[in-house]
Amino acid sequence: MSFKMDNVDKQNGRREHYKDLFLVYGLVFILSGLLLLLFSLLRIPNLQDYQDIIIGVIFLSIFISFFLIVIAQKNNRNRKRWRFLLSYSEEEQTAILKLFNIARIKGLWALPDLDEEIKRHFLESKKVKIKVTRGYNLFFNDEDSKRDIFYHCIFDAGSKDKREIELLLHLPCLHSLHTRQRAEANHMDVAEYVEKLFEVVKKLKDVTLSTENKNEITVKFYNDYEVKWRYYIFEEKSNYKKTLYLNYYDDRISGAESAMLKIEYGEGSLCHDFDKKFDDIFSNKTIELVSNIKGDISLLPKTFCHPECGDLIKAKYEDVFKVKQR
Ligand SMILES: [Zn+2]
């Protein structure tokens, strides 16, 4: 965010400046009036003796500051030094207000409160977008899983409502720093990491085969684009309101265990931008690894980033889906 004055209409800026001056002086007058009222209410002895001096000092300081501001205003180079006198132009004030608007941050949420929040949003949602690396700790509730919030949402509490879920997972590549770092953060080697990834895909594929579970899940894989952010976006059933939960990958800990920022939707907000970013990645920068068609479990890509990555992915897919590729 830049506060450069170059493209600010100078005339307009000056008018705003005088408006601010009036505000400052108005406040000074009101405050002095209140002080005098307070003094007389408190019946300070001999107030009459000091009253003229007090008023004189107030007027003198107003005069001096007025001249100092006018001189500073004439010399644009010095203008910045007088910022503390509220001499922001309209554009600058808008920029500052935008900072608050863009953020719309509603706190940093850590476990276990974060899970309560996510569950509440999930149950109220008609569409959920999830971008994680592998999601094992979120979608499984076995002894290896550190946290199982989406398992409870999808397979338990939220299984009976119709809901669209779009999931973005990271395509594992043996040469990707992100793959190695995430495997390391979860204390496993890359082969085990890929196997767990397919267990997630299989588990979610089973949902699409079930008639009991009403969630519709589409899983796609992104390359090393935008690997640093993990986030969930919940779109509510009733009013289309969206909420974003966002965090940045820490090399040392499992993503599922880190705290997340809660950010509300608004035009031009971070939630709005991440929502658009998700849609762009989902539609244009992903591949389908296992078919998303109901009842079809084939591994779609014929070639992979590197031959060794293809070998590992095929082997782990066959292990988990119990199929032998021809
Ligand atoms: Zn590769």
| pLDDT at 15 (0 to 100) | 57
* pLDDT less than 50: residues of the chain: 1-9, 78-79, 81, 85, 326
CA of 228 to the centre of ligand 1 (A): 18
pLDDT at position 244 is: 95
What Å distances lie between residue 145 and 124, 138, 299, CA to CA?
25, 7, 25
- Taking CB atoms within 8 Å and a gap of at least 24, the contacts of 100-105 are 101/266, 101/268, 101/269, 102/268, 102/269, 102/270, 103/263, 103/269, 103/270, 104/263, 104/264, 104/265, 104/266, 104/269, 104/270, 104/271, 105/261, 105/262, 105/263
pLDDT of the residue at 34: 77
Tell me the three state secondary structure of residue 112: coil
Using left for φ > 0, alpha for ψ between -120 and 50, and beta otherwise, residue 287 falls in beta
Position 232 scores a pLDDT of 96
CA of 69 relative to ligand 1 center, distance in Å:
63
Phi, psi of 223 (to 5 degrees): -80, -150
- 141 token code pair: 């509730």
Give the Å distance between the CA of 257 and the centre of ligand 1: 27
62 three-state secondary structure = helix
What's the 185 CA to ligand 1 centre distance in angstroms? Answer: 20
Return d(Cα 252, Cα 270) in angstroms, integer: 26
What does residue 244 show for φ and ψ, rounded to 5 degrees?
-110, 135
Per-residue DSSP letter, 171: P
> How many angstroms does the Cα of residue 303 sit away from the middle of ligand 1?
10
Dist CA 168 CA 288 (whole Å): 10
CB 281 within 8 A of CB 168: yes
Q: Report the alpha-carbon distance of residue 79 to residue 110 in Å, rounded.
A: 44
- For the chain, how many residues are written? 326
Write down the pLDDT at residue 222: 93
> How far apart, in whole angstroms, are the C-alpha atoms of residue 224 and residue 244?
22
User: Cβ neighbours of residue 317 under 8 Å, at least 6 residues apart?
Assistant: 198, 289, 290, 299, 323, 325
Strand partners, 263: 105, 244
Q: Give the Å distance between the CA of 203 and the centre of ligand 1.
A: 24
So what's the pLDDT on residue 1?
Answer: 39
CA 241 to ligand 1 centroid distance, Å: 38
Quote the pTM value.
0.69
pLDDT tens column, 192-227: 999 999 999 999 998 888 888 999 999 999 988 777
Give residues with Cβ within 8 angstroms of 304, minimum separation 6. Answer: 310, 313
Distance (Å) from CA 194 to ligand 1 centroid: 12
Cα(134) to centroid of ligand 1, in Å? 16
In this prediction, residue 4 carries a pLDDT of: 42
Cα separation, 203 vs 72, in Å, equals 68
Task: For tokens 């005088």, name the residue.
Answer: 18
Q: What is the pLDDT of residue 292?
A: 93
Give residue 171 CA to ligand 1 midpoint distance, Å: 9
Please identify which residue in the block is written with the tokens 């796609």: 220
Centre of ligand 1 from the C-alpha of residue 290, in Å: 17
Q: Residue 181 C-alpha to ligand 1 middle, in angstroms?
A: 15
- How many angstroms is it from 308 CA to the middle of ligand 1? 7
**Domain range annotation of the chain:** 10-102, 104-321
Cα angle: 187, vertex 258, 227; to 5 degrees:
75
pLDDT value at residue 59 = 73
What CATH fold (topology level) applies to the domain 104-321? Endonuclease; Chain A (3.30.870)
